[in-house]
């Protein structure tokens, strides 16, 4: 199967830490071999469902880096704040963003009106799966429970990869989660450590990525008619059980994921003639899937 590999690639494959090439499994083969123990089911209390006219996007919230912001999101959902929101911005190869579309602004409920940026955690508190120490923006990059992380020394922060969910803000205001954005293109890494990240799209990202681009500055829509209303924003644990999706995310610890990561670095599919033997942090999108709930 490796007849197209160049001699240097073969030598590299034999020298390095990967399984011998003849035995290397592809990423697809690895995923197909996975068992239930290789997947985790995010708690419904950490799933944010956004209903759009074309379908539902589900995000996993990650409160560890930004507890006050995630608390605010929960409070805004509970207050029904987002039910008056719409997607007001779709900038090509950058972000989509939603915000209050009504006037007057809905009540914030228990949410705090202003929050400080929440960006960092101590690296030594986190069980990280190393991805690479070659990164344009940080000393090293890793995965933490399925989320992309960068580190310098003992400081760790979440990374703006495709599908990441962040808290919009102006300058100098630091945002309060009433307006959120989602990365819809090449990772805008210059936003790292500048925008508070709170989660990642697991399911349905295409409902956001295919939206018409706004023609105003920064991809904002120029008329209310161009916006897309959010038809419902809910936390899974507050939804009727029948409406919840059972979602699984590939665990990023353990031997199977280590093999998967190695296979992303050294692609052994016949198509590749020059495997890169390297991978960037945003080129390891952690697989997620909807599964049927087990029969009781």
Size of the residue set binding a second copy (CB under 8 A): 51
For the chain, helix (H) and strand (E) counts, in that order, are 5, 17
* 205 sits near a second copy (criterion: CB under 8 A): yes
Q: How far apart are CA 213 and CA 223, in angstroms?
A: 13
* 289 sits near a second copy (criterion: CB under 8 A): no
Residues in contact with 241: Cβ distance below 8 Å, sequence separation at least 6, in sequence order: none
Binding string, residues 98-127; x marks residues near a second copy by CB under 8 A: -------------------x-x--------
Nearest by Cα to 157 from 117, 97, 186, 184:
117
The single residue among 190, 224, 258, 293 that binds a second copy, judged by CB under 8 A, is: 190
Q: Which residue's CB is nearer to a second copy, number 46 or number 283?
A: 283
Do 228 and 86 meet the contact criterion of CB atoms below 8 Å apart? yes
Tokens, residue 118: 């929440």
The single residue among 36, 55, 67, 185 that binds a second copy, judged by CB under 8 A, is: 185
The single residue among 37, 240, 255, 271 that binds a second copy, judged by CB under 8 A, is: 271
Q: Which stretch binds a second copy (CB under 8 A): 44-52, 62-70, 248-256, 272-280?
A: 272-280
Q: How far apart are CA 131 and CA 115, in angstroms?
A: 32
> Of all helices (H) and strands (E), which one includes residue 213?
none
| CB-based burial label for 124 (10 Å; 0-12, 13-18, 19+) | exposed
The single residue among 104, 172, 241, 294 that binds a second copy, judged by CB under 8 A, is: 172
Residues that bind a second copy (CB under 8 A): 3-4, 92-93, 117, 119, 132, 134-137, 161-163, 169-172, 185-190, 192-194, 205-206, 209-213, 264, 267, 269-276, 278-283, 285
């Amino acid at each position: 199967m490796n007849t197209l590999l160049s001699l240097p690639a073969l030598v590299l494959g034999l020298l390095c830490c990967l399984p011998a090439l003849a035995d290397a499994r592809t990423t697809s083969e690895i995923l197909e071999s996975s068992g239930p123990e290789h997947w985790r089911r995010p708690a419904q209390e950490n799933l944010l469902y956004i209903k759009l006219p074309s379908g539902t996007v589900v995000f996993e919230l990650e409160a560890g880096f930004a507890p006050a912001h995630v608390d605010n999101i929960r409070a805004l959902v509970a207050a029904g704040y987002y039910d008056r929101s719409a997607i007001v911005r779709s900038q090509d190869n950058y972000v989509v963003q939603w915000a209050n579309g009504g006037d007057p602004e809905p009540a914030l409920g228990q949410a705090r009106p202003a929050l400080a940026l929440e960006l960092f955690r101590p690296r030594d508190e986190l069980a990280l799966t190393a991805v690479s120490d070659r990164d344009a923006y940080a000393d090293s990059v890793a995965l933490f429970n399925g989320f992309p992380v960068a580190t310098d020394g003992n400081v760790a922060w979440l990374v703006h990869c495709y599908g990441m969910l962040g808290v919009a803000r102006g300058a100098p205001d630091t945002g309060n989660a009433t307006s959120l954005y989602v990365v819809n293109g090449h990772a805008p890494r210059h936003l790292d450590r500048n925008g508070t990240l709170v989660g990642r799209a697991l399911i349905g990202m295409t409902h956001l990525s295919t939206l018409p681009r706004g023609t105003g500055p920064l991809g904002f829509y120029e008329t209310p008619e161009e916006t897309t209303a959010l038809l419902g924003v809910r936390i899974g644990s507050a939804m009727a059980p029948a409406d919840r999706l059972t979602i699984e995310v590939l665990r990023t610890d353990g031997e199977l994921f280590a093999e998967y990561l190695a296979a992303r670095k050294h692609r052994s599919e016949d198509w590749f003639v020059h495997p890169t033997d390297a991978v960037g942090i945003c080129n390891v999108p952690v697989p997620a899937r909807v599964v049927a709930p087990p029969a009781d």
